[in-house]
Amino acid sequence: MRRTKSYKRIWVLLISVLFTVSFLSIFYTEEISAEKGFQDIGLRVYNGTQIVALAAEPAGTLTSPLRIAKNGVIYGIVLVEPGDANDSGVRIQTSSGIKALRKYVFLPTAYLSIAMSKRRVFLTWYTVTATVTVTENTSSGPPISGVTVQGRWSGGYNATVSGITNANGQVSWTTVGIGEGSWVSFTVNRITTVNNEYDLAGVLSRSIGI
């Protein structure tokens, strides 16, 4: 009888945990968007101090030795080195040593707008300035400051550039002199923090004639 009661208590605990995990998953999914390159499949774990979301590999990508099945799909659970910035605090022993389960980082979508202007510097030669503004989720969202924007010039001027957004979520670059009758484009490729990458929305590329 004691063993039967113990089993019942375990099942009740598991049901309670599953209910809590399900609730948290719905809450997170409604409020914030995906971290680029990883997937939130609703997997939550208590690491001793708080409940954290775990990062899974995108469906169809299986490189992790730790896997889980959900709705008929097998996902790989992302592993990192212990002490990594995205260490969830949960450890697992693998054939290559102890690894940490990677936490899923919820980031707002980086919404972009690009303003371009030209300035004559000498006769038929002009410089072009591209100013990128990064905000949260929509064009009217709060600015995202301190993130690295990577982009490239193409057309009459070719270069790869990067810069960090200021308090207004803006960063600018200016070309060298470009001859009249040409055109240039500026395209944003990535926006990152030290450890994470944003999903992008809005205007990712813009052109201007000289």
Domain count, the chain: 2
Q: What is the pLDDT of residues 18-49, one digit of tens each?
A: 333 333 333 333 334 457 788 999 999 999 99
Q: How far apart are CA 34 and CA 66, in angstroms?
A: 21
Q: What is the CATH number of the domain that holds 115?
A: 2.60.40
Q: Which residues contact 37 (CB under 8 A, 6 or more apart)?
A: 58, 197
Whether residue 134 is predicted with pLDDT greater than 60 in this model: the reply is yes
> Are residues 118 and 202 located together in one domain of the fold?
yes
Q: Where are the alpha helices (DSSP H) in 94-204?
A: none
Token pair belonging to 117: 């202007």
Min mean pLDDT across 9-18, 69-78, 106-115, 162-171 is at 9-18
> Are residues 143 and 74 located together in one domain of the fold?
no
Name the residue range of residue 172's domain: 110-209
Q: Report yes or no: 169 and 138 within 8 Å, Cβ to Cβ.
A: no
pLDDT at 4: 46
Q: CB neighbours (10 Å) of residue 73? A: 11
User: Residue 88 corresponds to which amino acid?
Assistant: S
Q: What is the pLDDT of residues 180-201, one digit of tens each?
A: 999 999 999 999 998 899 999 9
Q: What is the dihedral of CA 117, 118, 119, 120, to 10 degrees?
A: -170
Pick from 83, 102, 121: which residue ends a domain? 102
> Are residues 16 and 90 located together in one domain of the fold?
yes
pLDDT at 34: 53
> Are residues 172 and 92 located together in one domain of the fold?
no
